[in-house]
Amino acid sequence: MSTAGSSKVMTTKEAIGRFVHDGDSVITGNYTEGMPMSMIFELIRQRKKNLTYYSQSGSIDAEFLVAGDCVDRMCSAFIHKWAGRGFGSMVERYQRAGKLLVEDYTNFTYNARLAAGAFGYSFMPVLPAIMDSDVFKVRNSGYMGEKKFDVVKCPFTGREIPVVPAANPDVCLLHVQRADRKGNAQHWGGLGSTVHACLASKTIIVSCEELVDYDIIKSSPHHTIVPAFRVSAVIEEPYGCHPCDLPGYSNPDRPMYSLINSAFYCEDGLKSLLDEWVYGLPDRNAYIRHYIDLFGQDTLNRYRARSYYSAPADYGVAFESAWDANGRSIDLGVDMEGLVQLIEEKGELVYVK
């Protein structure tokens, strides 16, 4: 956690406009849960171009970005089609047409690239079994060529070890449950590549369901996955991941997923979807109002997550418990100012019971 810096709160429009540029590499920090859909829609709305997109578990996020002509290169472990084979996929169409180059990694090797980037290494060793797979062998279907993998000799055993190059995306988009105004971001649930995706990136934009005071962040440090000094922008965006799920806040809105997947079936449906839900709405507030106008507030509420609280954690520590409620040392009977004065006078203190 970090207390440094001033408020970084801004709108989604401001954050995307300021920190994402044509030709950037962009990664979604979320893994299966809480996809930052509001920021993804804003990328499309601002017509960002020639992006390289990283997503460990791509789904409608990848489909929308390809549909919006924002992405021409993609790195992923898998792209999940909610509707199955029978429905359309913009990723598949663009890849077949040669308009999208995709690098295919396994979950482990994808994460290894981000871990290397987060730790400041230029590469990371991965498991040798990958060398027997097409993921390792095929180098002509993406954009990295022979640089997708390499092999080095272990300095200790002399064995050949496959390695992957570090990934350091330009911008990480992350949606979390809560954050403070300075950028300390808290997330709980499935993490996957989330932490390494953030720390490997040069710029981090955080959107959150709610902004909270620093005291709340301080009282639950185990939930903080990104410290404030690494974050460039904070956006308070309720329903910022809709129709995706987010532990403690929302379940997946499956009917909305069905509507989206049906639209991806053909070009006309896709154009209509983008016009209605992206280009025709200025921001996420308008998106939610439009949803309520069509389906009703009760429908939106139906997909709120039922509460399931974790057990509290006691963060009482020895240093704090050595002082009473009035700020006086339990052992010496002086306050902090008095303790400093004693140390200055005596040079050191040795307490003997």
308 is a domain residue: no
Residue 123 has pLDDT above 60, yes or no: yes
- 160 and 292 inside one domain: yes
Residue 156 has pLDDT above 80, yes or no: yes
Q: How many domains does the chain have?
A: 2
Task: Report the chain's mean pLDDT, rounded to a whole number.
Answer: 92
220 is a domain residue: yes
Residue 152 has pLDDT above 90, yes or no: yes
Among residues 259, 280, 302, the one where a domain terminates is: 302
- 243 and 324 inside one domain: no
130 is a domain residue: yes
DSSP states of 93-107 as a string?
Answer: HHHHTTS-EEEE--H
pLDDT average, residue stretch 257-265: 89
64 is a domain residue: yes
- 275 and 334 inside one domain: no
- 213 and 165 inside one domain: yes
- 297 and 337 inside one domain: no
Torsion of the alpha carbons at 275, 278, 281 and 287, rounded to the nearest 10: 120
Torsion of the alpha carbons at 166, 172, 174 and 180, rounded to the nearest 10: 110
At 1 the pLDDT is: 60
311 is a domain residue: no
At 223 the pLDDT is: 96
DSSP states of 147-203 as a string?
Answer: GG-EEEE-TTT--EEEEEE----SEEEEEEEEE-TT--EE--S--TTHHHHHHHSSE
At 125 the pLDDT is: 98
DSSP states of 118-147 as a string?
Answer: HHT-SEEE--GGGGGSHHHH--SSSS-GGG
Domain of residue 335: give its range: 316-353
Residue 345 has pLDDT above 70, yes or no: yes
Enter the tokens of residue 72.
Answer: 């021409």
264: domain CATH number is: 3.40.1080.10
Q: Per-residue pLDDT tens for 105-118?
A: 999 999 999 999 99
Residue 3 has pLDDT above 60, yes or no: no
- 193 and 285 inside one domain: yes
Beta-ladder partners of 66: none
At 262 the pLDDT is: 87
- 194 and 329 inside one domain: no
- 213 and 293 inside one domain: yes
Q: Per-residue pLDDT tens for 270-323?
A: 899 999 999 999 999 999 999 999 999 999 999 999 999 999 888 876 555 677
Residue 180: name the closest of 232, 236, 223, 219 by CA. Answer: 236
54 is a domain residue: yes
**AA letter at 72:** D
pLDDT average, residue stretch 237-258: 96
- 103 and 226 inside one domain: yes
- 259 and 156 inside one domain: yes
Beta-ladder partners of 102: 74
- 348 and 268 inside one domain: no
3 is a domain residue: no
Output the pTM of the full model: 0.89
- 59 and 118 inside one domain: yes
> Which residue shows structure tokens 């496959």?
162
Residues in Cβ contact with 97 at an 8 Å cutoff, skipping those fewer than 6 apart: none
